[in-house]
Structure 1
Amino acid sequence: MRILVTGSAGFIGYHLGRHLLAAGHAVTGLDGFSDYYDVGLKRARHAALAAHPAFEAVEGRLETEGLLLDTLARVRPDVVVHLAAQAGVRHSLENPGAYVQANMVGTANLIEAVRAHPVRHLLFASTSSAYGGNAAIPFRETDRAVSPLTLYAASKLAGEAMLHAYAHLFAIPTTAFRFFTVYGPWGRPDMALFLFTRKILAGEPIEVFAGGAAERDFTYVDDLVAAIARLMETPPEGPGGAGPVGPFDTLSPVAPYRLVNIGGGRPVRLDAMIDALEAALGRRAERVLKPLPPGDVARTHASTELLRALIGAVPETPLSVGIPAFVDWYRTYYGA
């Protein structure tokens, strides 16, 4: 297939591009190379993808008028995976405008381009942060998500709502997936695992929020992209098509639209993650305990019933495997 991946120089976009190219697909990767974090790392990811003859790189921002329309008109992709976004929960308190432009205006531009040039399946990366103040555990896709705690989460919920509307109006088969704390090689420097690794190797103290008791449903990046690739093969059908796969399904009654969690359903305490990182590094961390920052939640826990029903599997890689893989990459890339 011809597949357009937005955000292809990002952490997840890079790994998804590699996975799809290895499977024999032609991939067009679009990225704006924002300076939210090290652009050199993004360039290195894209350069690795560009070494494959079936990869085409397009540089530009989602907000640029006409860019997405022109790209889809030329490439005519069978599938679009929309990963590009302004990421980061805490950064949204400092630079809210970036989230409005990239995550809302940019997503609106993308779905307008897809409306003009229809695809077999449109997939959209949302986030577990969309569950916000939801107190029910585990987080089920059928839970009402009406209490976002940050503009980042709100911007992703807006994206979900816009995609549902277009799926209804223009019969665009659409799957939105909420992923849970993704980590692994080539990860984002603003994420806890990356920050902790850099500081421990530098002999600097690390800030541990909620006394280490906060829990996250860590998802290894290879598991995540394998799930996305499998979901690509299962576009939802609208009214009159195949019905829900169970009472836990989010298949819309009025549109070919579905929302799916991608996570393992096995939350791990932050202090246990740090223990595993110390073991992989062979060094102890100096831990400075801090309260949970504004916008953060104490626990994330994915319900996996729907994902398992759709693709027959859920993320399985444990931290004892995933963290050493990240540390090996970090030491090689940075010579640390």
Structure 2
Amino acid sequence: MSRALGILLGFTADRLLGDPRRYHPVAGFGRTASSLESRMYADSRVNGAAHTALLVGATTALGVAAERITRNHPLLHTAATAATTWAVLGARSLEREAATMATLLEEKDIPGARDRLSHLCARDATDLEADELARATVESIAENTSDACVAPLLWGGAFGVPGLLAYRAANTLDAMVGYRSPKYENFGWAAARLDDVLNLLPARACALLTGLTAGRPAESLRIWRRDARKHPSPNAGPVEAAFAGALDLTLGGTNDYGTYVENRGTLGDGPPPTVPDIRRTADLAGRVGLAAAAVAALTALLIRRPGPTSRPAQRGGTGSKGTRWV
């Protein structure tokens, strides 16, 4: 119960408070990763793999230690799980960025929206107009609903604090170095592949929850099955396709990231996104996050540590105790 309760409390804290404005643990991890990169960087997959292994391994070990210290103290375990869940989730911040972009575009502040888009994605927004800025925002909300909300919740439900921390460390590294740019194509390869593996199941769970919470499961599933493979990412593809089907939009196209251009195919049958679709997408993302929190809590309840068990007392001895699993 302590893990499930901690996840729900942490999710609630994120919904009410959002990210800490100062001393954010993820920001601290990012600074550490940047400092280590300056010492380890080389145009080499080996160096990049070592960089990833050291950072993700150390963060996971910290989570394991927290679980072991608190495992026999339910209140402490609940508090540790809640604090970690709050720290690694980014759903509320994503919602705020979506609202900011929607307001800027509704007020026709195109320069302001171009500048603000960098808070959501790495696209070059220099020449983007309102509808293209809306498309970039909708796609970023969809992809980050999986990365910043659904995936950490599900890993936390299954593995507790180590799962939460390991996933966030891997995903943060992917956001920092997992690009197909000349600088990071080799060094960031390990971080990108690890993030792909860790998101395989959560991304598909997010796609499924998207159709269900939108009330359009059949259409969302149809677009997912038909179009997801067009997207270059094995995980963003199902999520964005599911959102396209759920919202009756067409997403995708050619994206310019400054140092390279990527064709993401076209996903869906509806019209391209326009400014009003940003708030629709954010509302759907909120419902998906709520459903994911419920699934994560249920997972935590189903994957419980066995408590003490007893055997019939034997003459001259006492009953034996079962093993506790973390």
- The answer, yes or no, to whether TM exceeds 0.5 is no
TM-score after normalising by structure 1:
0.27
Which structure carries more relative contact order (alpha carbon 8 Å, separation 6+)?
A: 2
TM-score using structure 2 length: 0.28
Q: Which structure has the larger Rg? A: 2
**Which structure has greater strand proportion?**
1
